[in-house]
Amino acid sequence: AQKVTQAQTEISVVEKEDVTLDCVYETRDTTYYLFWYKQPPSGELVFLIRRNSFDEQNEISGRYSWNFQKSTSSFNFTITASQVVDSAVYFCALSESPPLVFGKGTRLSVIA
Amino acid sequence: NAGVTQTPKFRILKIGQSMTLQCTQDMNHNYMYWYRQDPGMGLKLIYYSVGAGITDKGEVPNGYNVSRSTTEDFPLRLELAAPSQTSVYFCASSKPWGEMSFGYTFGSGTRLTVV
């Protein structure tokens, strides 16, 4: 069965600090997708990244970076030089078949 | 393109009432999904559909019904609303799993309160 664990329930950082959000997943399949979504206070789900299981390259997009390690079943998300606008709930999700399975999310608060 | 449209955005129901949450997508996606998000929690799958006429239960289907008569629409029916169904409901759609550019498009959500 597929499972996603986001052990950090809430994180609070001061603006300009770097922060890493952890995501550990469980799956028996060799083919799967991993996602990160952002849910700002307004409530919508904003897609951040998709990674398939055959692509372990790390990715950087502006201040965002993702570290995918199959050996540890982790797909961690780092925000560099955090900003107040990064305050949101972040969800990691796994798909080994059509439905997406979400972690419980990490609430990030960035304090000015 | 509108993407995934959910109506209504907000609704207050009394215990025992029924209602239908509407979801429409204009991307010709075969797969559609209903999730609920309780306060401080992740999203849990209620039902999903891989095509017109095909539906399947997710993790928390009790108290809900769905139908998929067209590719575009995937309504969620609540019968005999209960306070435990107070939640935010998200509809989503996707291309078939494994296709290039596979991903999920979410609607903006319906906030339902049962009192």
State whether A50 and B94 contact (CB < 8 Å).
Answer: no
Q: Can you tell me the distance from the alpha carbon of B96 to that of B83, in angstroms, rounded to the nearest whole number?
A: 35
Q: Can you tell me the distance from the alpha carbon of B104 to that of B68, in angstroms, rounded to the nearest whole number?
A: 18
DSSP state of B95: P
Which pLDDT score is estimated for B43? Answer: 95
Tens digit of each residue's pLDDT (9 = 90 or more) over B66-87? 999 999 999 999 989 999 999 9
Q: Taking the CA atoms of chain B, what radius of gyration do you get in angstroms?
A: 14
Interface residue B50 vs chain A (CB under 8 A): yes
Contact A23, A77 (CB under 8 A): yes
Contacts of A104 in chain B (CB under 8 A): 41-42
State whether A91 and B58 contact (CB < 8 Å).
Answer: no
**Count of A–B CB contacts within 8 Å?**
47
Which pLDDT score is estimated for B1? Answer: 63
Q: Taking the CA atoms of chain A, what radius of gyration do you get in angstroms?
A: 14
Which pLDDT score is estimated for B103? Answer: 83
Per-residue pLDDT at A104 exceeds 80: yes
